[in-house]
Amino acid sequence: MIHEKFYLVWCERGAAPAVKHRTHDLACREAQRLAKINSGDTFHVLECVSSCTYANVVWTGELPLPF
């Protein structure tokens, strides 16, 4: 799978990011919007530079207990 670039907006004092922005510009606009309504909080624009997926779990024989 090819990694597609996306951006997140994050505030240390807030909840975890929930929206993937397709462009840097869209993320910056969202950071600015959030900053305007959350005076004093800093919003960071983060770029995803890599991703990792572990999808190769193979069981043989009986499943270990407890499962």
Domain assignment present for 23: yes
Instruction: Residue 41: give the domain boundaries.
Output: 7-47
Tens of pLDDT, residues 1-59? 567 899 999 999 988 999 999 999 999 999 999 999 999 999 999 999 988 888 877 77
Domain assignment present for 19: yes
Domain assignment present for 66: no
Total domains, the chain: 1
**Which residues, in sequence order, are bridge partners of residue 10?**
44
Q: What is the pTM of this model?
A: 0.74
Task: Say what the pLDDT of residue 40 is.
Answer: 96
Whether 64 shows a pLDDT value over 80: the answer reads: no
CA dist., res. 5 & res. 48, Å (int):
6
Domain assignment present for 42: yes
Task: Say what the pLDDT of residue 7 is.
Answer: 98
Q: Which stretch of DSSP H or E encloses residue 26?
A: helix 24-37
Domain assignment present for 17: yes
Task: Say what the pLDDT of residue 57 is.
Answer: 73
